[in-house]
Amino acid sequence: MSNCAIVGINWGDEGKGRMVDLITKDYDMVVRYQGGGNAGHTVVNEYGKFALHLLPSGIFRPGVINILGNGVAVDCESLWTEIEAVRSQGVSITPENLKISDRASLLLPWHRDLDSLEEARLADKKYGSTKQGIAPFYSDKFQKKTVMAGELLYPEQLLERLSSLREWKNLTLQKVYGAEGYTMKQLMSWIQDFGKKIQPFVCDTGAVLRKAQSEGKAILFEAQLGALRDLDYGIYPYTTSSNSIAAYAPVGSGLPTARIDEVIGVVKAYSSCVGEGPFTCELFGEEAEKLRDAGSEYGAKTGRPRRVGPIDLVATRYGVQVQGATNIALTKLDVLSYLDEIPICAHYEIHGQQTDEFPFPTLLGEAKPVMETMPGWKCDISGIHSWEALPEAARKYVEYVEQAIGCHIGYVSVGPERDAIIIR
Ligand code: GDP
> Could you tell me which of 423, 422, 230 has the C-alpha nearest to residue 321?
230
User: Tell me, what's the pLDDT at 146?
Assistant: 94
Index of the ligand 1 atom closest to the CA of residue 415: 24
Q: How far is the CA of 42 from the centre of ligand 1 (A)?
A: 6
Q: How far is the CA of 215 from the centre of ligand 1 (A)?
A: 34
Pocket-testing residue among 9, 10, 13, ligand 1, by greatest number of atoms within 8 A of Cβ: 13
Index of the ligand 1 atom closest to the CA of residue 295: 26
Pocket-testing residue among 18, 335, 390, 409, ligand 1, by greatest number of atoms within 8 A of Cβ: 18
Pocket-testing residue among 331, 418, 419, ligand 1, by greatest number of atoms within 8 A of Cβ: 331
Residue nearest to atom 10 of ligand 1 (CA): 15
Index of the ligand 1 atom closest to the CA of residue 414: 23
Q: How far is the CA of 43 from the centre of ligand 1 (A)?
A: 8
Residue nearest to atom 17 of ligand 1 (CA): 416
Q: How far is the CA of 202 from the centre of ligand 1 (A)?
A: 30
- Report the predicted TM-score, pTM, of the whole model to 2 decimal places: 0.92
DSSP 22-60: HHGGG-SEEEE-SB-TTS-EEEEETTEEEEESSS-GGGG
**Binding pocket residue ranges, ligand 1, CB within 6 Å:** 8, 12-18, 39-42, 44, 300, 331-332, 334-335, 413-416, 420
As beta bridge partners, residue 100 has 68, 202
Q: How far is the CA of 182 from the centre of ligand 1 (A)?
A: 39
Index of the ligand 1 atom closest to the CA of residue 17: 4
Q: How far is the CA of 78 from the centre of ligand 1 (A)?
A: 22
User: Tell me, what's the pLDDT at 1?
Assistant: 57
Q: How far is the CA of 397 from the centre of ligand 1 (A)?
A: 19
Residue nearest to atom 25 of ligand 1 (CA): 415
User: Tell me, what's the pLDDT at 300?
Assistant: 62
Write the burial class of residue 363 (CB in 10 Å: 0-12 exposed, 13-18 middle, 19+ buried).
middle
Residue nearest to atom 9 of ligand 1 (CA): 13
From first to last of its 424 residues, what are the pLDDT tens digits of the chain?
589 999 999 998 899 888 988 898 899 999 999 999 887 788 888 888 888 999 998 999 999 999 999 999 999 999 999 999 999 999 999 999 999 999 999 999 999 999 899 888 888 887 777 788 999 999 999 999 999 999 999 999 999 999 999 999 999 999 999 999 999 999 999 999 999 999 999 999 999 999 999 999 999 999 998 999 999 999 999 999 999 999 999 999 999 999 999 999 999 999 999 888 899 999 999 999 999 999 999 876 667 789 999 999 999 999 999 999 999 999 999 999 999 999 999 999 999 999 999 999 999 999 999 999 999 999 999 999 999 999 999 999 999 999 999 999 999 999 999 899 999 9
List, in order, residues 6 or more apart from 332 with CB less than 8 Å away.
Answer: 15, 268, 269, 270, 295, 413
Check: CB of residue 227 under 8 Å from CB of residue 322: yes
How many residues does this entry show for the chain? 424
List, in order, residues 6 or more apart from 266 with CB less than 8 Å away.
Answer: 6, 7, 8, 9, 14, 15, 16, 19, 226, 328, 329, 331
Index of the ligand 1 atom closest to the CA of residue 14: 3
User: Tell me, what's the pLDDT at 274?
Assistant: 86
Active site residues: 13, 41
